[in-house]
A and B are shown apart, each in its own frame.
Chain A
């Protein structure tokens, strides 16, 4: 078994229960789990290869726990990330405040990390428009202000989920060359030296 190589580190951030795990679950396993909500504990890592043009790029996705308990720990999860999917729940305005917090944190600590603002649970809005608490245009304006991409997704129906991750991989692919020449090492900044390519270096 040869270990998997990870090209781009992607981190999922956002208030608890906004649907980070469900997004990953939908994208990686093409399913939506019903049943009682299970908080993520700490964080979970999963590597997922994705075809971009004629290339295969492996995303190393960190699904973090939204609980404040892990806030102090969050740096280890987003450090060196090339992309952050900052999630908020379209039906919960407080989750958007939390998204702003994460955006600020990333802007301060991780300037090379591209931000993807993601409004979740779109299916609920479609079923009942009155549930919407975050206006599409407000979020869009905020995204433009911070130079982020903006998506509204549903993990339940699968709406826009593949598009989101595909965009992440595509952007990585388009920027990768630029990074390689810009950085003398060719390995992501701030990433522990041998951990990123932990396997290819060994073999």
Chain B
């Protein structure tokens, strides 16, 4: 995958695409965008920032297994008994020492959580649970492990069990085993994708090399010792997986900002370079302001989301300057980068992350930050940037399609997406998660491993949904239930025109390298 991404970017740099200025005018002239990758609204003008990746690159690599899984599904009847055992086990798990602040794992409330996630070692030692404590769940985890090894012994790899409106999905990533138990209608593939994220979260804290090393030396090692204090990162990532379209789309979203200002911010960041610096990332909350990278080095969206999660979950970077090892697993699972993390001003939303290869380079990074800030604060773009922070999102009403409630639009070649704020009807957390669930459904249909769809229209009592994927973009729309299909289809053209018109503001069209 990585190789492919670089090839794609390289071919652009070789000028197979129209020169920048011509492209610009073409963009303006043809508001109905090409369906072709690289010309869709939001496509970068020169090169992409990210590794060019399909949504499921990790899983497609295991395509043969996928096929095997399909046949395995038929066997799920057999496993249902084991699942029952698993559920019963829960009720026997009353641990006398369960910490009071923690949830009682025998309670109805614990069981009724929509989605459980467990991580265990191959020896069956508990490492993480989303709800309750690992201690209280150790026998449950034992049963899970028994299931895994039982099926593995028969040379089948257990991937999922369906029973009683409940799905259990397994992901074996030696030396870890991840288990998801879900009452949602998400597909196995979506659930696996989420488990994959959790796996990468753990790797990003320890590196895979270290993980392997530990378990080679001591199969029985209690990994919680090393992960102590990081549980909230995993908790938060799971929360994001339920709510953040970026994780679903394998894309990130930008702070809306006039391109003239963004370009100044980018070039100021570009100027503050240093030998060991690989990526400079400026964030506004959960939104990307700009990203400058070393030539030939691409960041993967998963790695970027892990960085977002690290920064967003912790207030510990609020004061002073953070300096922390971080493994970017999609870049390299073997080693640590070192990230200099600081906010531009004490109460500011703007967080700068400088990713360095050299752990001794703190003071150089600190100096890069100073130079960046010095340069930027002299320019009016800084004022514009601070102004833009006041409205980090936009209302769907701006598009001017009355029936349209919400949408997600991803430009595939740039790996960036845009989406308006949630409208009135989706204000509560439950409603927002429900809408995200609907999008996930659509996403599953469009990316079905064997029968993918190009477009999809679905009516329900509370909303109508349309999804459309081309080689250039992915689009998901949510309409009021009163609209018609014809109306929805015509809305697409109108929306694409609008995005084209606004792309300067909503996307990063000219990413830079040092």
Contacts and interface: CB of A to CB of B under 8 A. Distances in A.
Interface in A39-69: 39-46, 63, 65-69
Q: Which of A21, A40, A44, A68 has the most CB atoms of chain B within a 10 A radius of its CB?
A: A44
A198 B316 contact: no
A1 B372 CA distance: 12
Contacts of A43: 322-324
A170 interface: no
Interface stretch (B359-367, B426-434, B452-460): B359-367
B314 A41 contact: yes
Contacts of A3: 367, 370
A67 B229 CA distance: 7
A92 B73 CA distance: 51
B358 to A, nearest CB: 10
Interface string B320-334: 111111000000000
Nearest to A6: B363
Given A38-B314, A195-B363, A69 B206 contact: yes
A38 B316 contact: yes
A97 interface: no
Contacts of B314: 38-39, 41
B63 interface: no
B228 A16 contact: yes
Contacts of B359: 73, 76
B317 A41 contact: yes
B374 interface: yes
A129 interface: no
Contact of B229 (A25, A44, A65, A194): A65
A69 B226 contact: yes
A157 interface: no
B272 to A, nearest CB: 13
B205 interface: yes
Given A3-B370, A41-B310, A44-B316, A67 B228 contact: yes
A39 B364 contact: no
Interface string A11-51: 00000100001001100110000000011111111100000
Q: Which of A25, A70, A194, A196 has the most CB atoms of chain B within a 10 A radius of its CB?
A: A70
Interface residues of A, number: 33
B320 A46 contact: yes
A45 B364 contact: no
A73 B324 CA distance: 9
Nearest to B336: A73
Contacts of A196: 363
A42 B324 contact: yes
Q: Is the interface of A mostly helix, strand, loop or mixed?
A: mixed
A68 B320 contact: no
A201 to B, nearest CB: 11
A44 B323 contact: yes
Nearest to B338: A42
Given A39-B230, A41-B317, A1 B370 contact: yes
Interface in B155-179: none
A192 interface: yes
Nearest to B339: A42
Interface in A62-94: 63, 65-70, 73, 76
Contacts of A40: 316
A67 B226 CA distance: 7
A175 interface: no
Contact of A67 (B230, B310, B362, B373): B230
Given A41-B322, A45-B323, A46-B321, A16 B364 contact: no
B237 to A, nearest CB: 14
Nearest to B340: A45
B319 interface: yes
Contacts of B325: 42, 70, 73
B321 A44 contact: yes
A162 to B, nearest CB: 18
A29 B319 contact: yes
A107 interface: no
A140 interface: no
Interface string B343-371: 00000000000000001101110110010
B318 to A, nearest CB: 9
A38 B231 CA distance: 11
A44 B374 contact: no
A25 B321 CA distance: 13
A192 B360 contact: yes
Interface in A181-203: 192, 194-196, 198-199, 202
A73 B370 CA distance: 25
Nearest to B322: A44
A92 B79 CA distance: 47
Nearest to A40: B316
Contact of A45 (B225, B315, B320): B320
B418 to A, nearest CB: 30
Contacts of A198: 363-364, 366-367
10 shortest interchain CB distances as A-B pairs = A42-B324, A46-B320, A39-B229, A195-B363, A198-B363, A44-B320, A67-B229, A45-B321, A69-B226, A40-B316
Interface of A: 1, 3, 16, 21, 24-25, 28-29, 38-46, 63, 65-70, 73, 76, 192, 194-196, 198-199, 202
Given A39-B316, A194-B363, A195-B362, 5 more contacts: A1-B370, A40-B316, A42-B324, A44-B320, A69-B226
11 contacts: A38-B316, A40-B316, A43-B322, A44-B321, A44-B322, A45-B321, A67-B228, A67-B230, A69-B230, A70-B325, A199-B367
